[in-house]
Structure 1
Amino acid sequence: MKNIHSYWAYVVLIVLIYAVVNASIGFIKKKEFTDKDLRIGLFGLIVCHIQLLIGLVWYFMSPWFAALISDAGAVMKEKSVRLLAVEHPITMIIAIAIITVGWSKHKKKTIAIEKFKIFSIFYGVGLLLMLSKIPWSNWFS
């Protein structure tokens, strides 16, 4: 599960970066919001939710969850363990919730520039949160 979660993260990042760039260009250039733009946003939402499910399954199987349950105080004192046991999962859940809110809000808008703006802001904030709590040392070791 850990490997699946790690490799799928690359897909999530690529799709989210593409979605944010696409929405930002659409917003700046005042483009028409097309089915392609809708699908890019939807695909971003789907890959994030798949990653969330994989991550939750892995988390409850992981040694960090077991450590958190057995001795939360020790986990909170150790920066690297705290990142994996607490900060990473909570931040990712918040990021995916923000992306999901962005998806819901864009559906209520009828003007293309507003749809692009919603995607740019919500998907962008979600992406930044994700980037802030990726355990980079685990990816490159």
Structure 2
Amino acid sequence: MVKRFVSGFLAAALVLGSLSGCSVSTDTGGGAGSSGATTETTSGSVTATGKEEQITWMFWDDLNATEDLISKGYKQVIDRFNEQYKGKYYCNVVTTNLEEYPTKLNALVTSGNTPDVFICNPGPNLTQYVESGAAADLTD
């Protein structure tokens, strides 16, 4: 229940953070390169100690190297979250490039390693995640 609450809080914070600055990016999602998804263990000035409850968030941009304003906003929200909940919760960011994002997300879902928070286009993709139980109803 706590993880669901924190995941919902983080998802809401990320949505609000994305609304704070709107831009159009011409970045094609160079992100982590073609070698695969990567997980960051340091966010801002906070480093995970391993004692916190870990939350994974998946996105298609390298949050430390991007020039995209929305992605920079996500990074700021995650950094604030990790600072505010230091020692209790920690958000690990899983990144990949935009072209490989759906494939990597589907592989994580299939293997039972679904990120706690992920972004997906509405429509058939979202329906697939809801029907399989990979996406939780956060309306509570």
Question: Larger Rg: 1 or 2?
Answer: 1
TM-score by length of 2: 0.29
Which is richer in helix?
1
Which is richer in strand?
2
TM-score by length of 1: 0.29
